[in-house]
Amino acid sequence: MLVTDQVSPLEQMRRATPAEPLPSQLERGSRGERHVRMWKRQVTLSMMAIASGVVLMSGIVALGHADPLAVAIWAPLSFAVNLFAYVALHLGRSLTWKDPTVTQPQIVYSGISVIACYAMAGPMRAVVLSMFGVAMIYAIFALPAKQVRWITAGQLVLLGIVMAVMSRWQPERYPAGEEILTFFQMCVVLSVFAVLAGRLSELRERLGQQKIALREALQRNVELAERDELTGLLNRRRASELLELCAKQTARGASFAIVILDIDHFKRINDSHGHAVGDIVLRHFAQVAQSILRDGDVLARWGGEEFLLVLPTDSAASAEALSQRLRERTAATSIALPHGGAVTITVSIGVAALYEGELTSAVLERADAALYRAKAEGRNRVAVA
């Protein structure tokens, strides 16, 4: 029966029995959404930290140590910055930015914000500096070590400038001696954070490399389970599954031809040139065969020097014609040997149409019988069952 809109048998098999997605595929499918959710939580935590800072500064205002107007300006500005980051993440706008997490700007602003509160807090400024720890802990877990070091250096420079300005402007509230000691202590503390950031960055990089290696190993295992390692073609197990599906598809009007191919005198090649040359011959034949196959044709290594070809076709005649082209192309190409010289090979081919309701074992027997007839008639020929 002629079917004008044939679908690749392999594609039919995938549609009929979808494979369980690999962890790497699941990860790629949900990575964007999961990261956005994680980033939103980060922004939410940042807003909670700002809220605690507002409570702290409100208490300092209540004790009469900070200017209410300055705190009234700082608090809504800080919430606005984090709200902007949250909205950008929620709408997906930040995904196209260089820093889609908006982490670095948040940490930079947090440091500037703490320094601003330091300038407002007067006698309570030592308490305010504790908020530096929150920002820096967040930084060492979220940013590369190099960025943490630059941010730390920038914040120390800015803090030093503010301390110098405040000690000159309000020496009674910011004694120079206390500011020098405080600055020295902050240099030590922030330097420790920078070192920790470097170690954590190394750990993240190492874990990332291990994750990639595990993903590649898993993909490799899947390929080994489905493909022949030498030729890269489907292996016998996967090809057998494909044949079973093709047999089921014939009940719906699909037509297939099964072709078994055998390299002539392959044992002689192994005996004369060694198994390494035999492997080269097998790979060469697989490449030649694939070069003339059509979309939807499936080639598999059936075992040893035997190959199986599944063709979605409406007649054994068209399968025979393709097999003849493959036979001629194989005989016409020479295979260069590693140590000089070349060999040529021929192939014997058996073709059988897959009938509706026929068992796969039966069509394989017919194709195999045709193959043996081709060999008996002199090899390097095509026989149709």
Sign of CA dihedral 236, 237, 240, 246: negative
Of 222-226, 269-273, 287-291, 345-349, the least confident: 222-226
How much is the pLDDT for 23? Answer: 41
pLDDT in tens, 67-106: 899 889 988 888 888 788 778 777 777 667 777 777 788 8
In this prediction, residue 340 has a pLDDT band, given cuts at 50, 70 and 90, of confident
Enzyme catalytic residues:
305
Provide the pairing of β-strand 347-354 with 342-344.
unpaired
Angle (nearest 5°) at CA 47 between 42 and 125: 115
The torsion angle over the Cα atoms of residues 288, 289, 295 and 300, rounded to 10 degrees, is -130
How much is the pLDDT for 229? Answer: 87
Distance (Å, whole) CA 101 – CA 85: 8
Residue % of the chain over a pLDDT of 90: 37
How much is the pLDDT for 14? Answer: 41
How much is the pLDDT for 130? Answer: 80
Sequence-ordered list of residues with C-beta below 8 angstroms from that of 308, at least 6 positions apart, any chain: 236, 239, 258, 259, 260, 261, 299, 300, 301, 302
pLDDT in tens, 109-121: 888 888 999 999 9
Instruction: Kindly state the average pLDDT of the residues 319-330.
Output: 95
- DSSP code of residue 5: S
How much is the pLDDT for 328? Answer: 95
Distance (Å, whole) CA 290 – CA 313: 17
- DSSP code of residue 4: S
**β-pair partners for 334:** 344
**What CATH superfamily classification does 236-384 receive?**
Reverse transcriptase/Diguanylate cyclase domain (3.30.70.270)
In this prediction, residue 323 has a pLDDT band, given cuts at 50, 70 and 90, of very high
How much is the pLDDT for 239? Answer: 92
Sign of CA dihedral 231, 233, 238, 243: negative
Sign of CA dihedral 370, 375, 377, 383: positive
Q: How long a stretch of residues is the chain?
A: 385
How much is the pLDDT for 258? Answer: 94
43 with 72: CB under 8 angstroms? Answer: no
Residue with tokens 């291990």: 210
**β-pair partners for 306:** 262, 303
pLDDT in tens, 248-265: 888 788 889 999 999 999
pLDDT in tens, 7-51: 454 454 444 433 434 444 434 444 556 666 766 677 777 778 778
Domain positions in the chain are 23-222, 236-384
The predicted model scores a pTM of 0.50
Query: What does the mean pLDDT of the chain come to?
Result: 83
How much is the pLDDT for 215? Answer: 86
Sequence-ordered list of residues with C-beta below 8 angstroms from that of 360, at least 6 positions apart, any chain: 240, 243, 244, 246, 247, 354
Q: How many CB atoms lie within 10 A of CB 329?
A: 14
